[in-house]
Amino acid sequence: MLLTKQFCIVVNAKKYPSRELRNLAPERCKFGYDVMEYVGRALFVECRRDIDIVADLKNRNIEISDSEVPFLGKKFIIYLAIAHRESRDRIRSGMDKRGGYILHLDGTCDGDSPHLISGMDGLSEIILGNIKAPSENSEVLIPFLKDLKQSYGPPLALVHDMGSGLQKAINEVFPGISDYICHFHFLRDIGKDLLGKNYGMIRKCLQNSKARTQLRTRAKSLQSKLGNDNGAFDEIIQSLKSGKVSEKLASKFPDQIAFVLIQWILDADNESDGYGFPFDRHHFVIASRLFAARKLIEQIKDHSPNGADMFLRIKSNNSLVHLLNLLNTLLHNKHLCHAVRDMRKKIDVFDRLRDTMRIAVSADNSGLNDDGADADIPTIKEKLEKFKDWILSPEFPFVINDYLGMINQLEKYWDKLFADPITVQTGEGEATIYPQRTNNSMERLFRHLKRNHRRKTGTTQMSRALKAILADTPLVKNLTNPEYVSMILSGKATLAERFSEIDVKLARQKLKEAKTNQQRLPTKLIKLIRREKFIEEINNVFRFAS
């Protein structure tokens, strides 16, 4: 028996049409809905590589090429988006039973890529809608917000970043509805303004001096000299605990300490909490450790009796002296010294603000999983008032002009930082809803997309991927929500079954529209606009014409 593209059973060279078989795959398509679902989940939920999907399907006796995998992935998103739109009434009904929804709005972009913007219900964490746009201006966002409003009704409240275009669109589409600033975005913007200039200088100085390259080269040289004796590290730990260096270890101890110090300097990511800049400051940590290592070696040489003796006694093995000379060379830069000193003061103030607002708290391992849900808003508000008073008081230990921007931001967005509890009527009676203070659920979504891209391509650059990605790709996050899956399945057992009910012509039209939107500039047009004297030639044409 053979299944043909015409969905017929062939027996003894005769074709017998089959309605049941027609439901297994789209008309004139090589692969069934089940293969489409498998590829879609593997690509977007499990973050698997195309080559691995091809190999796994081959083990299941399904031959598929590398190019067909991403194409099936796009079809999966198209079908999922259609099923989502056809289920909007059920999604809205589910949210109404909880008393409504809180609309979280956020977006991501990279370089010259378009903005991928998503709207999510903060209570159920269901992605409600998505668009791709060249920018986040109000003209683009207003139709998007109107579509969300028409589909799901007005939200109880909104949570978003401080983009002016988004705020203008919200004011027009949702007048009178409370909207709040995401505390994480608020802190991130303040931190970038406060620390960005110093951090950029530190990064530039470290790159220009090739600090990490020189340190890695020195570490590699020391490792070849010391060998791969892992037991030596146990001996070093024992020496550090006891405060004494054994005779057996004495000859190699400077080399070992120099090697360990270099690795400590380079291990700056260990101080990262998973929030990104300005909460994590990788280059600042490296610079700070350079200064700390230099100070330590100088103290050993100049003030420790055993250390001074070791420097003088082991003339043929002066790795610490060599490392000290390298550190002096790397740190002989007044711009680097000033930037580190200035940034250290600002970090003290910024981290105090983080602790006050109980978001992205320093030395917390939650990373972007920290939604600040356990924080008491009145208490935060009271502490933030004291924080402002402290900066403006005579007791503030730093130059206040550097922090006036922070104060201005606090005063500008003060009313949008504190969301009061919302009392609603649900199917089970009256309930109190506490709006989340962050958009971190959406940040995790975008991080998942970027991690997926890195895993498959090995690069962190998302510009090309965001140009090619379908706008509704974030809907795949909803597939981890059983309630949502039940809504879009509409009584079917699998997505494959649900997809078989979708109008194939509609799916093809959506796929065609997506392809049209992603077309690059024609080759001849690119050649034209990249002519060396393009502007001059146009000018000459008009001069000639006149």
Q: What is the pLDDT of residue 409?
A: 94
- Mean pLDDT (the chain) is 82
Of the two residues 190 and 376, the one the predictor is more confident about is 190
Q: What is the pLDDT of residue 130?
A: 94
Average pLDDT for residues 40-61, to the nearest whole number? 90
| Least confident piece of the model among 340-349, 446-455, 506-515 | 446-455
Q: What is the pLDDT of residue 519?
A: 47
- What is residue 14's DSSP assignment? E
Q: What is the pLDDT of residue 19?
A: 56
| Least confident piece of the model among 246-250, 359-363, 381-385 | 246-250
What is the pLDDT confidence band of residue 517, given thresholds at 50, 70 and 90? Answer: low
Q: What is the pLDDT of residue 315?
A: 46
* Helices 183-209, 211-226: crossing angle, 10 deg rounding: 70
Q: What is the pLDDT of residue 372?
A: 53
Rounded distance between C-alpha atoms, residue 534 and residue 514, angstroms: 32
Average pLDDT for residues 173-181, to the nearest whole number? 94
Q: What is the pLDDT of residue 197?
A: 96
Which CATH number fits the domain 88-178+421-457, given the four candidates 3.80.10.10, 3.40.50.300, 3.20.20.70, 3.30.420.10?
3.30.420.10
pTM comes to 0.79
Buried/exposed 85-99: b ≥16 CB within 10 Å, e otherwise: ebbbeebbebbbebb
Rounded distance between C-alpha atoms, residue 461 and residue 465, angstroms: 8
Average pLDDT for residues 392-412, to the nearest whole number? 93
CA distances from residue 4 to 8, 20, 21, 60 in whole angstroms, order as listed: 6, 13, 10, 19
Q: What is the pLDDT of residue 210?
A: 95
Rounded percentage of the chain residues whose pLDDT exceeds 90 = 47
Q: What is the pLDDT of residue 470?
A: 87
Give the CA diameter of the chain: 98
Of the two residues 141 and 523, the one the predictor is more confident about is 141
What is the pLDDT confidence band of residue 67, given thresholds at 50, 70 and 90? Answer: confident
Average pLDDT for residues 153-182, to the nearest whole number? 94
* Domain range list for the chain: 1-25, 88-178+421-457, 182-418
Q: What is the pLDDT of residue 5?
A: 42
Q: What is the pLDDT of residue 281?
A: 94
pLDDT surpasses 60 at 181: yes
Average pLDDT for residues 41-65, to the nearest whole number? 90
296-332 per-position pLDDT tens digit = 888 877 655 555 555 444 444 578 888 999 999 999 9
Rounded distance between C-alpha atoms, residue 461 and residue 282, angstroms: 19
What is the pLDDT confidence band of residue 373, given thresholds at 50, 70 and 90? Answer: very low
Q: What is the CA radius of gyration of the chain?
A: 30
Of the two residues 364 and 418, the one the predictor is more confident about is 418
Q: What is the pLDDT of residue 209?
A: 95
95-132 per-position pLDDT tens digit = 999 899 999 999 888 777 788 899 999 999 999 999 98
- Enclosing H/E stretch for 162: none
| Least confident piece of the model among 74-88, 91-105, 245-259, 261-275 | 245-259
Closest CA to 245 of 194, 324, 314, 345: 314
3-state secondary structure of 533: coil
Q: How many CB atoms lie within 10 A of CB 481?
A: 14
Rounded percentage of the chain residues whose pLDDT exceeds 70 = 77
Query: Do strands 157-160 and 102-108 pair parallel, antiparallel, or not at all (unpaired)?
Result: parallel
Average pLDDT for residues 440-449, to the nearest whole number? 77
pLDDT surpasses 80 at 174: yes
Which residues lie below 8 Å from residue 157, measured CB to CB, with a gap of 6+? 102, 103, 177, 178, 179, 180, 419, 422, 435
Q: What is the pLDDT of residue 255?
A: 79
What is the pLDDT confidence band of residue 535, given thresholds at 50, 70 and 90? Answer: low
152-166 per-position pLDDT tens digit = 999 999 999 998 999
Q: Which amino acid is it at 81?
A: A
